[in-house]
């Protein structure tokens, strides 16, 4: 595996996160493959799997509409061949206006310059620790 491929995968995942923080669903979708598998971390225990650009775009659009303060901070990131692992802290504002957060890990697979798989896992996984819209 060439280091340039690992670095490219890292850059794509970081760009994906930057688009997330801009609430730019279209920008995120530009970075995924047509047949991308996108697995959420909630509801417990398995999350929800979205397949393909249109389903993922709709999920992201709904997500940002329901969480206008959503922010994802990458705490650590590393690449392993075609895989990239990002440890994150996700912050949002609760229904009563209180700031909340959860922490977790996303595992990405990048092929041909696009994210083709994103699997998401979070700590302290329960319906009570997740934003309501993540459990629908």
Domains of the chain, residue spans: 3-135
Which two three-digit tokens encode residue 96?
């009563």
Class for domain 3-135, per CATH?
alpha beta
Per-residue model confidence as pLDDT tens digits over 20-44? 999 999 999 999 999 999 999 999 8
pTM comes to 0.88
Cα angle at 79 between 75 and 81, to 5 degrees? 165
Non-local (6+) Cβ contacts of 94 within 8 A are: 100, 131
Q: Residue 101's pLDDT is what? A: 95
Mean of per-residue pLDDT scores for the chain: 90
Q: Residue 4's pLDDT is what? A: 76
Calpha distance 10→99 (Å, rounded): 29
Q: Residue 54's pLDDT is what? A: 98
């Amino acid at each position: 595996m060439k280091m340039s491929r690992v670095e490219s995968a890292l850059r794509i995942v970081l760009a994906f996160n930057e688009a997330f923080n801009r609430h730019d669903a279209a920008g995120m979708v530009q970075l995924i493959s047509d047949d991308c598998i996108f697995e959420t971390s909630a509801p417990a225990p398995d999350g929800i799997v979205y397949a393909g650009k249109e389903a993922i775009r709709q999920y992201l659009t709904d997500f940002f509409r329901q969480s206008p303060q959503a922010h994802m901070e990458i705490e650590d990131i590393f690449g392993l061949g075609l895989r990239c692992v990002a440890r994150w802290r996700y912050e949002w504002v609760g229904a009563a206006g209180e700031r909340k957060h959860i922490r977790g890990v996303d595992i990405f697979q990048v092929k041909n310059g696009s994210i083709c798989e994103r699997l998401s896992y979070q700590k302290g996984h329960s319906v009570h620790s997740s934003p309501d819209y993540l459990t629908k």
